[in-house]
Chain A
Amino acid sequence: MADLVRLEIDGRMVEVPPGTLVINAAKQAGIEIPAFCYYEGLALQAACRMCLVEVERMPKLIASCTLPVSEGMVVRTETPQVVEARKSMLEFLLTNHPLDCPVCDKGGECELQDMAFRYGTGESRFTEVKHHVEEQQWSPVVFFDAPRCILCYRCVRICSEGMGVSALGVINRGASAEIAPNCDDHLECDECGMCIDICPVGALTSGMYRYKTRPWEMKHEGTVCAHCSNGCKTTLGVYDNRIMRGNNRDRSGINGEFLCIKGRYAFDFVSHPERLQSPLMKIDGRLQEVPWSQALSAVAGRFSEIKARGGKIGVIGSTRTTNEENYYLQKFARVGLGTNHIDHHRSGDVATLLTALGGRSDALATTDDLYGRKAFLIVAADLAQQHPFLAFQIRANWRHHNCRTYTVTPGPVREDSYAVRSVQVPEGEELDAVEALRDSLAAEPELVVLFGDTIKCDAVRRLVAFGDSLGIPVKYVCLVDYSNSRGAMDMGLLPDLLPGYRPVTEAGLEPGMTLPEILAAPDLAGLWVVGANPLTNKQLVSDAAFVVVQDLFLTETAQRADVVFPAASAYEKSGTVTNVCGEVQRLKRAVSVTGAKPDLEIFGLLAKEMKLDLGIWTPDAVFKEIRDAVRGYNVPLPVIVTGGASQTAPEGGPAGATSRPDLIQSARDTLFTSGSLSRFSKTLNSVTERPGALYRG
């Protein structure tokens, strides 16, 4: 590391690496220099002039957000001249500002309000008529109120630099300059809402949240997004047991400031009017509401009866329920019901990857690696559509560290715009194209390979063999679809693998039926579906099967059920989930929906009803068992408990899993869909952009 630069700020000696900006050096010394336009990680602007400081031997005040430190520099941040300059900037800023804090969504968490309070004069000498522009709605989720805008250009930068979408720009000039959307009067973009969160004032507001409540009236629960597998932290603002908004303004969690439309807005399924709030039982050929006790005893009775006569029971788990629930479900199935016919909707071939890696758990990339590693190979995946946070990470890596990206995809992807090589080949020919990149890839110092769901079975083995042959350190990410797709596999919701990818044969068991086999078994006596909807596009062959479903909504599968339990969603329970990179994070309950119960509780109640001893069924107790029993899950508890993420390192045994291409089926979601769940999100259905379209600058 280069020598540190020594400088003096307000009489304190500070030592920072060369190239550090004075504003950051001051921060390191515990000195706040106010700024609006400066935002770490985005291009420098020096536009707001709030961060002017006095520097010895410089004739004028100078913007500390663009001034790199130099040896022996003497900086003063609180001289009368500096204080006066800040006052005057705020006075200028507020001249055309509407000062409508009492009705502004941002009131209470507004940077302009805070700054005016801390550095302003408290009164204005401005007595002229204010410049006014009418409020505009740019999309179902983005509203713009120009008079509140202070033109810090954070929104423009996060959209172009951060997202690669460039849907925002500036029109007009002088005091008439304003932020404008890309399509004349509206936005066509990812609708991620990053512009809203990054706005220091109330100029950009959320269609979901505006005028609903005040920040100080809500409690703020940091949990994990219920949708895709990226596992972004989202902080839910809850008022009166209702989720008012999702954001990540404190930039905590693996995702920093990032959230896509799903994490920020698509929590509205929670309060959808069609949510199930009572158990249903088929009586007289029709599903009717019944008390929990009646439903539980009916299911317990039938399951016990089928088990006693040796009937086949199939269990289909979920890609969205917690690790604790998945673990408990497979334990219930294997120990309680004595069946190995357990499976789930698999959307990526993690099992084959782990097997191909032969126990090298250090070859699995983390989300941090995506920001830190030097080269990337993206195979058969459209990250911006299906893994927006991963796309954001790699893009940020390119912006900040110039990482080199190669894409081999069936169609154009957003990463093409900065990739060093982009190859488009028909689906199925990706690996030949990857082979053709061998020399370039082998010349990289290291590589992270991300591959989509069409790379499965032999293709995964071939890809890993290719990576091994490059002679450089290679890490992998096997892309999967949903918030706990990875956890479902890790927890052994598979007919041939126990938790931690241990073959069932190790435990002296025979592999059970797979999901398609369960549905196709003519002699299936019972089917238990938890948080899944396999009957959207498949038929259940056995008419006689007793079907139990746990879900939020009366899905196609639930409609076929004999008993339906109303389940709680991810935002209504505690537990852990594992993201696409194998990182475990903790869910925190934000709200509760009357009548619905977390799946784990339903399992526990059923076990009790069936007089099975499957252990305590609180999330903490089950997680403790997971940490002890599941290979790779012995993650440090304090990290998880405090809302951090810790990567698990499951090791695939050489014995491996059944590798069958037909068992891996992607849901092919887009940025605006999220399986069956998205049908119940008004927001996701309200955006007018073409699903799957690629918005880029």
Chain B
Amino acid sequence: MLYNEPSPLEVKVLTRRFGLPDSASLDTYLASDGYAALRKALGMKPEEILEQMKRSVLRGRGGAGFPAAMKWGFVPRSSPKPKYIVANADESEPGTCKDRLLMENDPHQLIEGMMIAGLVVDAHAGYIYIRGEYRYLIEILDRAIAEAYERGYLGKNILGSGFDFDLYTHTGAGAYECGEESALLESLEGKRGIPRIRPPFPAVVGAFQCPTVLNNVETLSAVPAIIRDGGVAFSALGTPKNGGTRLFCISGHVNKPGVYELPMGFNLLRMIDEVAGGVRDGRKLKAVIPGGSSCPVLKAEECDIAMDFDSLSKAKSMLGSGGVVVMDEATCMVKAALRIMRFYAHESCGWCIPCREGTLWLRKILTRFHEGQGRPSDIPLIGELAKNMLGRTFCPLGDAAAMPTISFVEKFRDEFEAHLDGKPCPFEEADRTVLA
């Protein structure tokens, strides 16, 4: 099902089947070019498929924006070990809800993408690691997988090609950390979900010590379109270094929140005003978290920006997972920072010292601060503690907690100062509905 009206500005590639009757079924899929890319790929050499992937300039949609073709290219195809394709469906970044729609409305697109990845790296098995909270999606996926097996799109000798591919779903148990690829693999193997020492990277030593392609659901879901229509056609939809479209999840103080598929490089202000119907109640825009809660916040005046990996990186933020969180003038930025830190303190896996202790400490300071017990020395302390975590934790979760915190303190210092001297939160009343 769909949760928002589509926008006329959308460029529907990955979401093209959204809204079709029974869009998750194999019949609907087949009736709309489904598995055409797989048929085509079965007739191509692995390097030819990889070449199309390169031309697509598809960059990882999980958040890091690493070129997908390059990641696939790291897998030692000739290794005697089995290889695996793993879809990261542990969509947990606050503000992000796109993978869920892709799996709910078009599971076969993901399955097809995984199989094509399998052809490239000579993998014959794949796992969809899905967050436990998405329980209802497991049924949809399992049904799609069963259908694909029944009709010969999965299993032995797929479409008479001699290619075998098996696919399994595996649920997480409610840990944000398991969205980090190496922690995901630990969890997939039945162990405690803590990240691994890298290198070696999963491409070489991944699931069950074997070479593994690990991509976000959206990344893998883009593969069929790339192979079907060609890498160049996909790339042309976006900007030169950021190929294709992207599912942006716009939430917060907008009139029409929702998931919209837009070309890479789409202007953020236009996105808020024209796609999402503008800031609600005619209020003024205060800030935007452009790519999920781990990204440094942008002030309103920074929001005239192209939404692609490089532009946001230049603005010292990140495109991240595409979770655009819009905050209007009534938002308390101290409370927003606290809400984010509460999440990271809750989700820190506890493996390394700076993340485990740093997030808890920051959460405690921010809680006290927001309650009016702040001291002037807390303001620099919050920034310093976050900086002490930044780049020093075992995995990126610590950075994810530190980066937004640093940006909140730097960009909204006046709001922190307004909370001092036992004053009540100036936004308390206006702020009940968001980030609560």
A residues with CB within 8 A of B: 44-50, 52, 59-61, 66, 84-85, 88-89, 91-93, 95-96, 125-126, 128-129, 131, 150-151, 169-170, 172-177
B residues with CB within 8 A of A: 175, 177, 192, 197, 345-354, 356-361, 364-365, 368, 377, 381, 385, 388, 391-394
CB atoms of A173 and B197 under 8 A apart: no
CB atoms of B393 and A49 under 8 A apart: yes
CB atoms of A175 and B345 under 8 A apart: yes
Hey, which chain B residues are within 8 Å of A47, CB to CB? 351-353, 394
Complex A-B: 21 CB contacts under 8 Å: A48-B352, A49-B392, A52-B392, A59-B391, A60-B391, A60-B392, A61-B392, A85-B388, A88-B385, A89-B353, A92-B356, A92-B388, A93-B357, A151-B350, A173-B175, A173-B349, A174-B345, A174-B346, A174-B356, A174-B359, A177-B351
A155 to chain B minimum Cβ distance, whole angstroms, is 15
CB atoms of B364 and A89 under 8 A apart: no
The main secondary structure of chain A at its interface with chain B is: loop
Which residue of B is nearest A152, CB measured? B353
Hey, which chain A residues are within 8 Å of B352, CB to CB? 46-49
A66-B197 CB under 8 A given contacts A96-B360, A175-B345: yes
B109 to chain A minimum Cβ distance, whole angstroms, is 33
Hey, which chain B residues are within 8 Å of A175, CB to CB? 345, 348, 350, 356-357, 359-360
Hey, which chain A residues are within 8 Å of B349, CB to CB? 173-174, 177
Most buried by B among A125, A131, A174, A177: A174
A656 to chain B minimum Cβ distance, whole angstroms, is 52
Complex: how many Å from CA A85 to CA B392? 8
Complex: how many Å from CA A49 to CA B377? 26
Q: Within the complex, which residue of B175, B346, B353 is in contact with A92, where a contact is CB–CB below 8 Å?
A: B353
CB atoms of A46 and B360 under 8 A apart: no
Closest 9 CB pairs of A and B: A177-B350, A88-B388, A92-B357, A128-B364, A174-B348, A175-B360, A60-B391, A173-B350, A174-B350
Complex: how many Å from CA A92 to CA B346? 17
CB atoms of A128 and B350 under 8 A apart: no
CB atoms of B368 and A128 under 8 A apart: yes
Hey, which chain A residues are within 8 Å of B354, CB to CB? 49, 88-89, 92
A267 to chain B minimum Cβ distance, whole angstroms, is 36
Hey, which chain B residues are within 8 Å of A95, CB to CB? 357, 360-361
Which residue of B is nearest A178, CB measured? B350
CB atoms of B359 and A92 under 8 A apart: no
CB atoms of A176 and B361 under 8 A apart: no
A455 to chain B minimum Cβ distance, whole angstroms, is 38
Complex: how many Å from CA A151 to CA B377? 30
Which residue of B is nearest A128, CB measured? B364
Which residue of B is nearest A131, CB measured? B360
Which residue of B is nearest A91, CB measured? B388
Which residue of B is nearest A84, CB measured? B388
Knowing that A50-B353, A169-B192, A170-B192 touch, tell me 13 more A-B residue pairs with CB under 8 angstroms: A46-B197, A47-B352, A47-B353, A49-B352, A49-B354, A52-B392, A95-B357, A128-B368, A174-B350, A174-B359, A175-B345, A175-B356, A175-B359
Hey, which chain A residues are within 8 Å of B347, CB to CB? 173-174
Complex: how many Å from CA A151 to CA B353? 8
Complex: how many Å from CA A150 to CA B357? 10
Which residue of A is nearest B193, CB measured? A173
Which residue of B is nearest A170, CB measured? B192
Complex: how many Å from CA A236 to CA B126? 56
CB atoms of A48 and B353 under 8 A apart: yes
CB atoms of B392 and A128 under 8 A apart: no
Q: Within the complex, which residue of B345, B353, B368, B393 is in contact with A93, where a contact is CB–CB below 8 Å?
A: B353
Hey, which chain A residues are within 8 Å of B391, CB to CB? 59-61
Hey, which chain A residues are within 8 Å of B192, CB to CB? 169-170
Complex: how many Å from CA A173 to CA B177? 10
Most buried by A among B175, B345, B394: B394
Hey, which chain B residues are within 8 Å of A49, CB to CB? 352-354, 392-394
Hey, which chain B residues are within 8 Å of A84, CB to CB? 388
Hey, which chain A residues are within 8 Å of B394, CB to CB? 46-47, 49
Hey, which chain A residues are within 8 Å of B393, CB to CB? 49
Complex: how many Å from CA A46 to CA B199? 12
Complex: how many Å from CA A150 to CA B360? 15
Q: Within the complex, which residue of A52, A66, A92, A150 is in contact with B361, where a contact is CB–CB below 8 Å?
A: A92
